Amino acid sequence: MKRTLRRSTLILIFTIAFIIGIGFFTVELVIEAKDWVDQPYNAHISGNGGLEQAGKILDRNGNRLAETIDGERVYNDDEGVRKALLHTVGDNSLNISTAVQSKYRSNLTGYSLIWGLNMPQSMRTSRDITLTVDSETCKTAYNMLQSGFEEPKRGACVVYNYKTGEVICSVSTPGYDPEDPPKITEDNESIYDGVYLDNVLSSTYTPGSIFKIVTAAAAVENIPDLYERTWYCEGVEEIGGHEVHCYDSTAHGDVNIYEAMEHSCNIVFAKLAVELGSEKMNAMAEKMGVNMSFNVDDVKTAKGHYNAPKNDVNVLGWTGVGQGSGEYEDKVNPMQMAIICASVANGGTAVNPSYIKSGTGDILKDIGIKHNKTYNFLSSDTARQVGEIMPEYSIGGLTVRAKTGTAEVNEDKNPNSWFVGYSADSDCPLAFACVVEDSGMGSSYARPVIEAVLSTAAERLRGKM
Amino acid sequence: MFDISVIYDAGVVGLRMVMPLFAIIIVYQCYAAMRRRRRPEKPLVSLYNPRSGGMIPVVFWENSIGRSKSSDIVINDLSVSRNHCVLLRRSAGWFVSDVGSVTGTYVNGVPIHGRAQVLIDDIITIGSTEYRLKRGDDFNSPLRSSRFFSKVSDKPAIQAWKLMFMITLFHLFMAVEAMFWNDGTNVYSPLILFGVMAVVEWGFFSVSYFALRRVNFELEALGLFLTGIGVMMLIRQVERSAYVQLIAMGIGIALYCVIVKFIEDPDRVQKIRIPMMIISCAMLASTIVLGKATNGAANWVYIGSISFQPSEFVKTIFIFVGASPLDKLQTKRNLIEFTIYSAVCVALLALMSDFGTALIFFVTFLLVVFMRSGDIKTVLIPIGAVIAAFFSMRFLAEKISFIGDRFNYVLNRFKAYRHVWDYADVSAGYQQVRVLTYIASGGLFGVGIGNGYFKQYFASESDLVFALVAEEMGVIVAIVLALSVALLMLYARAITTRARSTFYSISACCAAGLLVVQLSLNVFGATDILPLTGVTFPFISAGGSSVISCWGLLAFIKAADERTYSIKR
């Protein structure tokens, strides 16, 4: 009998293992229950479900972006604002997974670990979420992308405060009115292709000349006589056995580093990339977070891509001007470019952006003592020098350092137009990135969008501050 | 204006909040009652050594005697074999059985073969030592008692009828909750179901209390509590299934009573081991021939409109066949017979693609052989064999599509293990992510019986019932119910040495072990803590065969409790 008792210890171990397993599950439940609940198939919150009691969503000035009135979810009164903030706020469905109404639906509907999604009616309190975006600025960006050119453009525009991380403007096109979501059928599929994707966070594009910011940073750090040098540009030059050409093969003549950046001379930057070599170029891209994904309010941004070849000199040159090809093709994400510009603006240190001002149950954030994560990309000296090399613009009373980009894409489409940079004004410290797909020169598409957006933003921010 | 809905709201919420506390009290009371009404820790008989004047207490119903340190009665005498003989008690009195000693065992000077009865004051000669059998009262030093039985407060345990009343009340609360959530049709059907169920429960209690004159009802009460919850969970899902479940509960109770009665004599069971083995193998084999594939596993047999899973019944037989009394355990050390039987069972189940049940059988097999032999090698070798078999099947799966199809489902599940969110909309992770979502949606107190959405999913009432309970009754109740099944093992272990034979100790521990393994696969498989699904939650999952077999297994634990047969009211 004693032996039987001793042997039964094996079975006791199973029971103990079970109890440990239950403990493990309980810990998992407490930590992750919130993420488990926010699922599109969850019948407690899907469809219009759950939004009948959801709290408000407000912009930085307290304007209503979404609110439930008598069980109906209503959005901003202005159709332009509704469409502009579609990807940030979301609609009744959970289709736009990165939107606030999807990510924080359980917050809005009053989820708690204790009550699950079934909090008694009498105990429910509305949980409002306040965002950092300015609805007027977003509307300006949306209108520019939608009707500023010969036809509605696909693209993305993001502006954020590089001191605090507050996102002021974030717009992705194409969009739709959340009060009248389209039925997507075979006929209109192409118009709404990728409509649920927030291009600001979830898309990558070929950077083109805006990548010269990274190449310039590598040159500043590794070439001591950079400022004494001049290059001669004929518009086309053979580098590494194949051609490298400037946009439209325009010859720029004798240029120093400032002029090369101003004219966006591909020859000079391709040569710089070749001189620096793939190792240093890859190291700088890595250091500035090109191959990295940023965590913006629990959404992982699409990863950029930079990988310069060791053996192919011509492709190495092309990667230095933001093109590359095949497995060496450069890719960046709009939010990522804004973050990189923020680091240049802010002495080499970028503050991680956030859309949330308060209301997500993060108490530290609500009382304003939680600061956003920062990334240290560059030394303050390098950041200052790169900033000085970037051309200066004056937009809406702001002193802006920025770079245009005209990224050639392989298909039968027009280039993607880019404009990225920052304002140096201490009362309006904004980093921005804008991309317009299938358009043309950076200066004729993305730049006008940013000019309009920054003017509005400066007016709104300075008026309030 | 006073708003009546506030009271309504408060009432429903209050009820939901009371339920977890109530469940904890019921489970606590069941286990507390298990410790009560025990005989005091004193020897049954004692062995007096006339030469040295020493007195050895005999405390168990079956005692191994030998030189080995792990014997129940250790005799330090070189003429005594390591395992010499077994002193055992049966209803006819005390017996001694030689288990292959070198020098033999003698009663009153006569050498014995097999079992020989010994009476008080008889002389038992073991090796060169003589012992006189004396009454237990002749030994008067105190004995150390195990923790489970010592320090039991003097306060009498809750009376069985009070415990039953609490359980009935819990089921009534469930019925009331279920009445609140409906689409306007069949408002009173939960009450009707409750009424029928209460009749079954109290009928069983009356039979046990008045006809069989048993004092203890806590194990049955726990079984009724769990099974009743399973029945009630079904009322707002598929009403017909609730009644099927209730009928299965009745059959399960009947089987329980039959098994408890049948194994009253542990020696009688030994005679029918071989026929039982053959019957169970035949049942499994017939499933392969007659069985219809339902959702991957071809483990269902249909006779007319009745369908059942033979593999569930074989579980009960498996425990029968595995256990045996102590003297048989020591004379017949050969495990080949049982090993072959187990291998056939597991292979037949694997052929049906019922890998969940096959795994339960395999683990139970390991438990049985370890309980019998105490040799860790007997556990490690089969584990190695199965791992080898798994990989060779995996290799074969690539070559032969017939095996491949069956295996791919299992392999896919392994691939998604701990990454279910990446497989949320394909079969490998579909069920698990929904289980997690709805458990979290229910919170601590649940959304109310019939008010959840998880019931719409396939298998929510069987393999995934943990999530159904957690969503509708709250995660506290779900965990309390799971623990109440897991704790059966602690109970089975606590009464191990008090059982009337090792047949009971081994069968009770293995039955409890089987239930714990099955419970673990069910709960952890659904919640992605283990990479397997497809088994039922003991007692609660919908499925007649499953409920019946759980009651069958519970009978072994009941039989191991010495109070079952010895104490009458």
Residues of B in contact with A11 (CB under 8 A): 367, 371, 489, 492-493, 509-510, 512-513, 516
Q: Give CB contacts under 8 A, 24+ apart, made by A315-319.
A: A315/A240, A316/A240, A316/A273, A316/A274, A316/A277, A316/A278, A316/A281, A317/A239, A317/A240, A317/A244, A317/A270, A317/A271, A317/A273, A317/A274, A318/A244, A318/A270, A319/A273, A319/A281
Q: Which residue has the higher pLDDT, B413 or A15?
A: A15
Q: Report yes or no: A376 and A347 within 8 Å, Cβ to Cβ.
A: no
- Report the pLDDT value the prediction gives residue A117, as an integer from 0 to 100: 80
Residues of A in contact with B529 (CB under 8 A): 21, 24-25
Closest residue in chain A to residue B58, using alpha carbons only: A1
Nearest CB to B60; choose among A1, A14, A116? A1
Place of tokens 């007195």: B55
Q: What is the pLDDT of residues B188-238, one digit of tens each?
A: 889 999 999 999 999 999 998 888 888 788 899 999 999 999 999 998 888
Q: Where are the domains of chain A?
A: 200-356+370-462
Q: What is the pLDDT of residues A222-245, one digit of tens each?
A: 999 999 999 999 999 999 889 999
Residues of A in contact with B505 (CB under 8 A): 1, 4-5, 8
Is the predicted pLDDT of residue A185 greater than 90, yes or no? no
Residues of B in contact with A36 (CB under 8 A): 433, 436-437, 439-440
CATH class for the region spanning A200-356+370-462: alpha beta
d(CA A32, CA B306): 43
CB-based contact, A118 to chain B, within 8 Å: yes
The length of chain B in residues reads 569
CB-based contact, A31 to chain B, within 8 Å: no
Q: Report yes or no: A113 and A30 within 8 Å, Cβ to Cβ.
A: yes
Burial (CB count within 10 angstroms: exposed 0-12, middle 13-18, buried 19+), residue B334: exposed
Residues of B in contact with A117 (CB under 8 A): 441, 443, 447
Nearest CB to B437; choose among A36, A112, A115? A36
Nearest Cα residue to A336 out of A166, A160, A150: A160
d(CA A266, CA A249): 10
In order, the DSSP letters of A256-281 are -HHHHHHTT-HHHHHHHHHHHHHHHH
In order, the DSSP letters of A77-135 are SSHHHHHHTHHHH--SSS-STTSHHHHTHHHHTT-BTTTBT---GGG-----EEES--H
Nearest Cα residue to A245 out of A184, A360, A323: A323
> How close A465 gets to chain B, by Cα (Å)?
43
Is the predicted pLDDT of residue A122 greater than 70, yes or no? no
> How close A6 gets to chain B, by Cα (Å)?
9
A 215-234 near B (Cβ less than 8 A): none
d(CA A316, CA A325): 10
Instruction: Identify the weakest region by mean pLDDT among A26-30, A95-99, B325-329, B464-468.
Output: B325-329
Nearest CB to A42; choose among B437, B483, B506? B437
Q: Report yes or no: B300 and B307 within 8 Å, Cβ to Cβ.
A: yes
Closest residue in chain A to residue B482, using alpha carbons only: A22
| C-alpha to C-alpha distances, B547 to B41, B355, B360, nearest whole angstrom | 36, 19, 16
With H, G, I as helix, E, B as strand and everything else as coil, classify residue B314: helix
CB contact under 8 A, B64 and A1: yes
Q: Report yes or no: A179 and A167 within 8 Å, Cβ to Cβ.
A: no
| C-alpha to C-alpha distances, B66 to B55, B71, B104, B267, B334, nearest whole angstrom | 16, 6, 12, 23, 20
- Report the pLDDT value the prediction gives residue B195, as an integer from 0 to 100: 95
CB-based contact, A97 to chain B, within 8 Å: no
Nearest CB to B447; choose among A7, A17, A118? A118
- Report the pLDDT value the prediction gives residue A15, as an integer from 0 to 100: 92
> How close B443 gets to chain A, by Cα (Å)?
4
- Report the pLDDT value the prediction gives residue A96, as an integer from 0 to 100: 86
Instruction: Identify the weakest region by mean pLDDT among A17-31, A80-94, A378-392, B327-341.
Output: B327-341
Nearest CB to B447; choose among A22, A114, A116? A116
> How close A49 gets to chain B, by Cα (Å)?
12
CB contact under 8 A, B520 and A121: no
Q: What is the pLDDT of residues A256-311, one digit of tens each?
A: 999 999 999 999 999 999 999 999 999 999 999 999 999 998 888 999 999 999 88
Amino acid identity, position A222 = N
Q: Which residue has the higher pLDDT, B415 or A452?
A: A452
Q: What is the pLDDT of residues A124-148, one digit of tens each?
A: 665 788 999 999 999 999 999 998 8
Mean pLDDT for the stretch of residues A358-368: 67
Our CA angle for B516, B167, B200, nearest 5°, is: 90
Q: What is the ipTM of this complex?
A: 0.93
CB contact under 8 A, B438 and A42: yes
CB-based contact, A17 to chain B, within 8 Å: yes
Residues of B in contact with A3 (CB under 8 A): 64, 70, 374
Closest residue in chain A to residue B369, using alpha carbons only: A7
Nearest Cα residue to A317 out of A305, A307, A308: A308
pTM above 0.80, yes or no: no
Residue ranges in chain B whose pLDDT is less than 50: 1
Is the predicted pLDDT of residue A70 greater than 70, yes or no? yes
Q: Report yes or no: B39 and B495 within 8 Å, Cβ to Cβ.
A: no
- Report the pLDDT value the prediction gives residue B125, as an integer from 0 to 100: 92
Nearest CB to A29; choose among B439, B493, B499? B439
CB contact under 8 A, A36 and B10: no
Cis omega (within 30 of 0) on the bond before A174?
A: yes
Amino acid identity, position A137 = T
- Report the pLDDT value the prediction gives residue B1, as an integer from 0 to 100: 47
- Report the pLDDT value the prediction gives residue A366, as an integer from 0 to 100: 61
- Report the pLDDT value the prediction gives residue B527, as an integer from 0 to 100: 93
Residues of A in contact with B489 (CB under 8 A): 11-12, 14-15
CB contact under 8 A, A6 and B527: no
Nearest CB to A21; choose among B6, B424, B524? B524
Angle separating helix axes B355-373 and B310-322, nearest 10 degrees: 10
Place of tokens 């960046």: A332
Average per-residue pLDDT for chain A = 89
Nearest CB to A2; choose among B70, B363, B453? B70
